[in-house]
């Protein structure tokens, strides 16, 4: 393979051909070599200087130590019990009864006859809860 270049002297141009020492390569090999070279530079950057050491501010060290102690104290403290909000009753758009603040994200909504049937079954519900106490979980139990 030969390389052509233009040489200018005193206003005249002369084309020179110089034989190349590089053997001819196909384009895919050339691209693969360029990608490998770029990856090597990215993966092991030898041209990046190591970060310089910075002076340590004693006030900052003391503040970090104070915050770590405070975090440890907060982590060891008992979790604060959530404030139990009172139940709120509303009539829904479909004229049913919605009960809010039962601990779920959405309210429990029942039509009037469903709510009355539930209230009529209070004794049965309480008996069921008592009989199955060991099997039933409280919210938050895992």
Which regions in the chain score pLDDT beneath 70? 1-26, 41-53, 142
CA 53, 57, 58, 63 dihedral sign is negative
What pLDDT does 128 receive? 97
- 64-91 tens-digit pLDDT: 899 999 988 888 887 777 778 899 999 9
What pLDDT does 105 receive? 86
What pLDDT does 42 receive? 66
Angle, alpha carbons 133-136-138 (nearest 5°) = 105
């Amino acid at each position: 393979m030969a390389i052509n270049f233009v040489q200018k002297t005193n206003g005249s141009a002369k084309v020179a051909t110089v034989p190349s020492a590089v053997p001819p390569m196909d384009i895919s090999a050339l691209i693969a070599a360029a990608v490998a070279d770029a990856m090597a530079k990215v993966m092991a950057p030898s041209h990046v200087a190591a970060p310089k050491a910075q002076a340590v501010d004693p006030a900052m060290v003391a503040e970090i130590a104070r915050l770590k102690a405070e975090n440890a104290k907060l982590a060891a403290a008992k979790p604060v019990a959530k404030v139990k909000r009172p139940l709120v009753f509303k009539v829904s758009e479909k004229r049913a009864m919605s009960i809010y603040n039962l601990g779920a994200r959405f309210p429990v909504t029942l039509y009037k006859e469903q709510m009355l049937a539930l209230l009529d079954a209070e004794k049965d519900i309480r008996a069921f809860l008592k009989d199955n106490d060991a099997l039933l979980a409280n919210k938050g139990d895992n």
